[in-house]
Amino acid sequence: MKQVRHFIEGEFVESVDGATFDSISPIDNQPVAVVAEGGADDVDRAVRAAAGAFDLWSTMSPTARKRILLAVANGIERRADELARWETIDMGKPIVESRHRDVPRAAYNFRFFADYAEMVGTRAFDKRWDNTFGYELREPLGVVAAISPWNFPLMLLTWKVAPALAFGCTVVAKPAEQSPITASILAEICTEAGLPDGVFNVVNGFGPGSAGEALTRHPGVAAVTFTGESNTGKAIMAAAANTLKKLSFELGGKSASIVFADADLDEAVAGSLIGTFMNQGEVCLAGSRILVQRSIYEEFCSRLVAGVRAWKVGNPLEEATKVGPLVSAEHMGKVLSYIEIGEAEGAKKLTGGHRIEEGALAAGNYVAPTIFADVENSMRICQEEIFGPVATVMPFDQADEAIAIANHSRYGLAGMVWTKNLDVPGSFNLTSSAFPAGAIAVIPDWAIVSQRRCTLAPEPGLGRSVDDLVTWLTEHPGLITSKPVPVALGGLEGQMLDVRKDPDWRDTRGKGELGPNHPCSGRVGLFTHQGTIDDPGYWDIDDSMRMRLLFLDAGDHHVVTVHVETSDRSSFESFVEAATPIVESLDFGATP
């Protein structure tokens, strides 16, 4: 049986009190791993390790961090088969999804954010009428607690960990207790990739009264990112309140999928099957409330039933399986109870609605995909998140009616629309406020046409776009200076110099830094004396001082900022006195 321990400060360790629990496979409800069960003491060890590694990691250049994160991505790809198999055994998702969707996306998350962090720079605020120029720096926030869900264990863990690491934060992760195995393998990959000890830590365990609660309350944690059920999100928010942590939540969903009469019916049916029953319906974005225009309602229902009956329910390790077991016997009980509720409420069951107990599947948590028709939107099966293979289908006549039904929900995580024409009379603009969901997809192809923070629905979560994520992971100490006055931020001391530049000038890496390969970099030799380049964008001046130049776009003109890092103020002042006339003499082109 596999042993899964905590990963703290670069080492796999047991719990302080020696506690463990079994990880149960939903395929047959047999244990597949013995997992260290963490508590407050284990969390404290991990947070202290992350805090101790923060200075090293946060001061590395984005380029240096990128090299390590790309190595992590390579490691995920090298061990893709192993990761996919354990993801399926531990959680129950079909191996086809694990291998071709989840694991590749996990590697992609590291690649994307490694690249993106290099491109995020400062913002400039020009107030020449006050003889001042302000700019805003992004700095790593601190220790981030990443609490990941069981439905996409590796993919959503990396969606949290990769951006945090890319922007210089350190991480303590707590994977869901139902699916902890791939987080442990990811820790091995991070070590092999050269990630410094303590930068990424994993503590296994449960939520309330256990590792999860201890992590959200720990004063050394600066922020918590969580994906999961809404009530758990509320508990985390309450636990984090005393220490005013930053929070990022992706919570529950009960998304509406609207099918208009002009939609390609084959595509709408095929897409609705995927949108509802993929991953056994254990998807927060699932479009399980299907609204169909009345003129095609009967035909759509008939095709949907035929389509789902063709999906194979079976052992998720088999390539042909489309629907695997639910993650746990407890969760299976919850889903079956909602099916009973739907029947009691008067919904018309078209197919499914029972546990599969024949043959080899009898030992597992298999539920037949279920479709209810002729439902009322006020029914509990339409208003509460079931998180299983259950779809509800209801008719509508006009677009305004569909919008009213779709918006009658406490959730606002996502929405889907099937139509060939968004501008038909009586229809609506998907990017307008008519459909206030966090992400709107016009389908086919699940192309998201609108991503935004949803404030009208009370329980979609906190934070939405990539820009939100960057803001959440960084601090923004604003710096205002009258030129040429030295400014200070922590250990960084710099001199602001206004240099008129050709607006068409760009550096070779597209970042605005005068890198070593830039055509103007020869001018930097005036400052370096006999120094050498030891980091992209930085040049040694002497043993106690290094420098870099940053290019800032200030609208109708441009500014070169000279950043000097030193612990010796007298050396800094001498450098500024010598450097100022040289920088002012640089010829970057005439100002138009």
Q: Is 284 a catalytic residue?
A: yes
Closest Cα to residue 4, out of 21, 17, 16? 21
User: ∠366-370-371 over CA atoms, to 5°?
Assistant: 170
DSSP E strands in 131-193: the ranges are 132-136, 139-140, 143-147, 170-174
Give the orientation angle of helix 80-91 with respect to helix 103-119, to 10 degrees: 120
Closest Cα to residue 563, out of 505, 500, 455, 489? 489
What single-letter amino acid sits at 283? V
Q: Is residue 519 packed enough to be buried (19+ CB in 10 Å), middle (13-18) or exposed (0-12)?
A: exposed
SS3 sequence of 280-341 = HHCCCCCCCEEEEEHHHHHHHHHHHHHHHHCCCECCCCCCCCCECCCCCHHHHHHHHHHHHH
SS3 sequence of 437-501 = CCEEEEECCCEEEEECCCCCCCCCEECCCHHHHHHHHEECCEEEECCCCEEEECCEEEEEECCCC
Closest Cα to residue 226, out of 159, 313, 287? 159
Phi, psi of 224, rounded to the nearest 5 degrees: -130, 125
List residues bridging with 246 in a β-sheet. Answer: 223
DSSP for 67-95, written as a single string: HHHHHHHHHHHHTHHHHHHHHHHHH---H
Q: What long-range pairs does 309-313 form, CB within 8 A, spacing at least 24? A: 309/351, 311/273, 311/277, 311/369, 313/356, 313/361, 313/366, 313/368, 313/369
Could you say which of 250, 385, 459, 565 is catalytic? 250
How far apart, in Å, are the Cα atoms of 562 and each of 319, 503, 550, 592?
Answer: 58, 19, 6, 24
DSSP character for 102? I
Could you say which of 169, 284, 301, 454 is catalytic? 284
Q: What is the largest CA-CA distance in the chain?
A: 85
User: ∠536-540-542 over CA atoms, to 5°?
Assistant: 170
Neighbours of 232 (CB within 10 A): 19
Asked if the peptide bond before residue 484 counts as cis, ω within 30 degrees of 0, the response is: yes
Closest Cα to residue 369, out of 356, 382, 383? 356
How far apart, in Å, are the Cα atoms of 114 and each of 162, 164, 251, 372, 395?
Answer: 8, 10, 26, 44, 46
Q: Which residues are catalytically annotated?
A: 250, 284
